[in-house]
Chain A
Amino acid sequence: YVLTQPPSVSVAPGQTARITCEGDNIGSKHVHWYQQKPGQAPVVVVYEDSDRPSGIPERFSGSNSWNSATLTISMVEAGDEADYYCQVWHSPEDPYVFGPGTKVTVL
């Protein structure tokens, strides 16, 4: 199972960043999103399409339908600059699948 993400997204501070994750019939799966800053371990920012762990700002939101899931970062801040990865659980033969990652640059 293959997930596709744009390599990069650029956004000005205070604007909205949208990162897409595409896969065959991805709307039938639960999509999770991770933020990874340089030199740090990944951190989940959205799980099961649209839920946020405690401590993650409401500015981070997710949606999922048909062949595309989206992570939306509202009112982008300089500290949001990071790599973002989508991930799904697919099947016992190919359980945990990551997208290639999207580098978010805050202009």
Chain B
Amino acid sequence: EGHLEESGGGLVRPGGSLTLSCVAYGFTFTSYSFNWVRQAPGKGLEWVASVSASFGHIYYAQSVRGRFTISRDDAGASVFLQMDALRVDDTGIYYCARDASTGTTGWFDPWGQGTLVSVSS
């Protein structure tokens, strides 16, 4: 079934930058779309960004468009989230998740364990 491992979280000042990484294990990476989903402390899940197989499609939530950049490295089975101009309300756990659907039904499995991003002065 495979699994995902995120890294790169940390404490950053407002206006700063951070890059998250997600490495995939145990399945054919190039066949899937990958996503970042975040969760602010005590809040619900919020989809952030998506990159399809072969970079065919990239989507962003309105809240991060123009500030975040998602990318993938098929050779390294990795997905990245470059986060610039960070704001306090970007604070939360960031999860990497595979889109497991075979069409456009769009569901997530598996999820990584998450990496914590804290934006504070």
**A and B interact:** yes
Tell me the A residues contacting B by CB distance below 8 Å.
30, 32, 34, 36, 41-44, 47-48, 53, 83, 85, 87-89, 92, 95-101
By a CB distance below 8 angstroms, the chain B residues around A53 are 109
Count how many chain B residues have C-beta atoms less than 8 Å from C-beta atoms of the other chain. 22
Given contacts A42-B111, A43-B111, contact A92 B44 (CB under 8 A): no
- 15 A-B residue pairs with Cβ-Cβ distance under 8 Å, sorted by A, are A30-B107, A42-B111, A44-B100, A44-B109, A47-B105, A48-B105, A48-B107, A87-B45, A87-B106, A89-B105, A92-B57, A96-B108, A97-B47, A98-B45, A101-B44
By a CB distance below 8 angstroms, the chain B residues around A83 are 44
Closest-by-CB residue of B relative to A49 is B105
Give bound CA distance, A41 to B112, whole Å. 7
Give bound CA distance, A88 to B107, whole Å. 8
> Of residues B46, B108, B109, B111, which shows the largest number of chain A Cβ atoms within 10 Å of its Cβ?
B108
Give the A-B pair count, Cβ closer than 8 A: 68
Contact B59 A41 (CB under 8 A): no
Closest-by-CB residue of A relative to B93 is A41
